[in-house]
Structure 1
Amino acid sequence: MGSLRLTLCTGLLAACALTPTAHAADGADGGGAGLSVTPSAPAPGADLALRVTGCAERTATAHSTAFVADARLAGTEGTLAGDTRVRASAEPGPYDVNITCGSFLVKSRITVVSQSQSQSQSEPESQGQAQSQPEAESLSDDSSAVPAAPLAPVSPAAPASPVAPVHAGGGGTAHFATVDVSAAGPGTGQAVTGLVLAGVAAAAVALLSARRSRGTD
């Protein structure tokens, strides 16, 4: 009897040693496996993308009571990815996620938030993106703008120097207005020309008066 019991115990131990078992790992245990989800705080009815790192298998399965169905994960080089959807009837709060990676069971957790909380978290991100676009546009406008060269001021036309008219009087006399030739201004040359013309006109008047006086004699 003693030898029979020893044989049975030995057989049971051998069977247990050959039977594969699933090891529970929390977070980074179980070969360094870890879970990340997008969005990080999903709302009921939202699509959910899962990414598992540190799993040496090519496939894995993620199960949670928050999911409408188990997520089938696939990938290579220790990174597996898949997607699922959060149940529309899921209540806000934490939910456990069990990932079966070969002989390891990786335990993680996600947090489901309400629709209002999900919208309030997404609004600051959209506002930050909307504010960054005008800043980028203003920078591009400033970099391409070329300042216009200032126009040179146009100087007004110099007024012509006044020339006094010649008055012919009786007895062959002519009266001239006094013109200041030394007056400052751009019309000095014109004033000199006017004086010359006035002198010529005075000589012509004097000659005409002399002819008239000879005719009367």
Structure 2
Amino acid sequence: MDLVYKGKTKDVYQDENGQTVLYFKDDMTGKDGVFDPGENQVGLKVEGSGKAGLQMTSFFFEKLNAANIPTHFVDSDVEKREMRVKKITVFGKGLEVICRFKAVGSFIRRYGDYIEEGAELPAYVEVTLKDDERQDPFINEAALEALNILNADEYKEIVDLTVKISEVIKEELAAKGLDLYDIKLEFGRDQETGEVLLIDEISGGNMRVYKDGEYIEPLKLNGYMFDN
């Protein structure tokens, strides 16, 4: 396969048939050897983390595809840590979309004067620009339109898809006795049809999950999902 792009936690290849293949590495984002999904640098290498990330990603993408929710997922080989996906284009230089069910993390740091930590939120959606240098700044609908990153219809579609997808994932976790507090998703356009698609991955590093009020570390989440 030909290497197309070397990322922090995944490399992008093109195979002999011209298909796009994502390779899940054991590199994880963090700082000083401590895992942190919000960090913009590789902080540690954990054997098995790439396979675990792809296992969960494949599980959720297969559920979403079966529910006729548009994604870039084609198929995967968990043992090889490879996922075949549709060719896509990103919005601008990339967007991250957060769906919040509980007030934690940066939300409570910003709005703590108005809400208690852990309080319920109504599937609240926020958008950030993927920009390491500027620490992934938040951006609203008007600015996204003004900068020609997306239009009003695409914004509404992304918000609606985010809530729909997040609810599916929340229900799957709840079936295992787990509580989804928030989740980070990414979207792009199908290169051939222009359809808005869920892209990237859906793994423990993308979400905050709790059980009986206790935070579940991302690398331990697969155990709860698949070992019982």
TM-score range, shorter chain: under 0.3
**Which of these two proteins has the greater Rg computed from alpha carbons?**
1
- TM-score for both structures, normalised by structure 1: 0.22
The structure with the greater share of residues assigned to helix is 1
Q: Which has the higher contact order (CA 8 A, sep 6+)?
A: 2
When normalised by structure 2's length, the TM-score is 0.21
Higher strand share: 2
